[in-house]
Chain A
Amino acid sequence: MSSPTTVQMHNPEHSGIVRLEDMLQQMAEHKGCGTSSEGGKASCGSSAGPADMSPETWEKVKNHPCYSEEAHHHYARMHVAVAPACNIQCNYCNRKYDCANESRPGVVSEKLTPEQAAKKVIAVASTIPQMTVLGIAGPGDPLANPEKTFKTFELISKTAPDIKLCLSTNGLTLPDHVDTIESFNVDHVTITINMVDPDVGAKIYPWIYFNNKRYKGREAAQILSERQLQGLEMLTSRGILTKINSVMIPGINDEHLLEVNRAVKSRGAFLHNIMPLISAPEHGTVFGLNGQRGPTAQELKALQDNCEEGQMNMMRHCRQCRADAVGLLGEDRSAEFTTESVMAMDVQYDLESRQAYQAVVEQERQAKADAKKAEMATLEGAESDIKILVAVATKGSGRVNEHFGHATEFQIYEASTSGAKFVGHRRVDLYCQGGYGEDEALENSVIKAINDCTAVFVAKIGGCPKAELEAAGIDAVDKYAFEYIDQSVIAYFREYLEKVRDGSVVYGKRGDAQIRQGAFVAA
């Protein structure tokens, strides 16, 4: 990296082209981290990582946007839709529906052959150097399409060996494929487990196709559950990192998910991702049509918090992306990479410039971790039961760098004397948008989505929406523009505590908030 290299990346001030050299210089001026370790776990090399992970695990997840909340600010993933067939039916899925104006998990517009998929991966990896993970997540079940799935992995591992491979499955045929998964070096697998009790399962799964037979009801759920847990045990015993996805369905499995959490934790699952049910009637799913509601933001958070008390890592940054999603979590660049455009691209895989780019990202991460640590020191000795939520407008890199009106989602952080903790994200309608009345978007979408937050951090905000937010009791803050998120949340919290102490603000619980239906799409 001695010669000046030009790379594309998010600059803190503006997005555009920055010279790698300038970036490195900027980083070098920042003081390096100390060598002291915290609690015997965090050290210089991994201080950007959670302290509750073994170094081997951190090494596996640190650049994986779906497995590490911290990584998802910096690294991107893509899914290729090579696996359209499925072998089970879920009441939250309608296989017939796909439409350009609507999008949700499990649905894609274009199916790919393994060869098309491999070409697409190379094209995306050349355009987006922070793309580190390739997942196969459907639109059906990857392991109901084993030939297509593994052929795709084979082609990609040949041309782009640095890209991590992962897959997401319902688990029904998982035990039959663990050997193959291991042989392809797939070290991340996600299993969707919504129940461990067949009576609960019968309300979620109308049927499964297993051993050349269609099973229904309780029997179907029992087979599915046994196969899922068996597959999980087989994976974890071989050291393959396994995450569990669960869909939270109020009244059906919401309380039961605590038991699911214990069951998967005891079998070695590394991360549990509880997602809200998506059930808009227009999706035509069984749940959508019979009026089954999804959870509210606070119901979801309460369940996640309860599971976390059992010492299980919870994933809270899931965007429930489509099976053909491309880019950072929270952005959708799939439209740039249609089959037609990818096939026309002349791409060369440049491993070196990808690595150079990623080296810059690593330095930025380290600087961010150091800043967080320094800011935390200012809270030392402070004791208070106060916890507040802060919404942040960001477009990546872990900074407050999005204009309020341009935000399609807000990231939610919980601030307390133990620091800043990411607890979720809330998607919203764009405030600055033609067509809809802007005030309508603010009132009906943004305020409802972040109504449980004390403040919203933005890079910039107009006077009008600021006043309306204040009227709704939400402090609109632009003074942390382009600063690191964690550091800013801690700084704000320290000032908040002082204000509570001197009586200039009164601390009280805020309300609930709504989760918007649907998967993440570019607005």
Chain B
Amino acid sequence: MLARISRRLAGLLATLVAASFVIFAAVYAAPGDPAVFLAGGRDKLTPEKLDLVRAQYHLDEPLVVQYGRWLGDCLHFDLGRSFKYGDQVADLVAARFPTTLALVAYATLLFVVLGVGAGILAAVRRGTWIDSAVVGGTTLAASVPSFVSAIALVALFGVQLGWFPVSGSGEGFAGGLHHLTLPALSLALGALALISRVTRQSMVDAGAADHVEAARASGIPEREIVLRHILRNALGPIVTMCGLVMAGMLAGTVVVETAFGISGVGSLLVGAINTHDFPVAQAVLLLMVTGYIVVTTLVDLVHPLLDPRVKEAAA
């Protein structure tokens, strides 16, 4: 067990180092000149001033040297200072990460409850109009891009009806819940189809097993059968999918954050990429990669606990 965990950790670190270099190179190669944004106004863009700025921020050095400098600082737990804000990158990210995390957690709660619920309903009522309605409805919801659903939700529930605030992330738990409902909903909508489809399919597969037939024959009530025999066996793929979707969401909040004027790491990242704020872009992207890896690793670890068959295979 210990060996397995240390193997995993080593793999995690290797992945992070590789990712950090790829990200660094990608931001470095992005079109546009960071010095332009650092120099200030348009009346200040003289060649001399730009050279001064490049020297000040070490932008005139080759990529590998810049990366080495960043990696060295990183090992001393120093993520550097933002070019744009002049503030410690760690502070900037720490201030915004809870907002994004809350948004993703809320959205996850929504798509798990609604998606899995709809999937179970469709599986149990397979072949009826309810089944078709669930499949059709969720497919429709998934085909609307999140910025469109965000705007539609704001227009209806925020501006017209005034039930929900139209921007910001709110104060305290209740305020946060109130502010984040619409953004979380527009994030969750896209995931509904996938989750409900996976749930439905794995329920149908599990329902076709012999022991389910046997249970039915022995007169156990249908409710009991669905919950204890079918759903339990179907949980593996469902949990895996929910984990993957949630991990993907960590990196996908950008659009929704912008539409609702929420300052999370998503909007921080976009700003950083547009202004070539290397240290910030680097830190946020790495955080997202880490988040993804952590969530998927957790899913891997939980999977055997849910499904004895996987455990046997692993052993």
A, B co-complexed: no
Q: Which residues of A line the B interface, CB within 8 A?
A: none
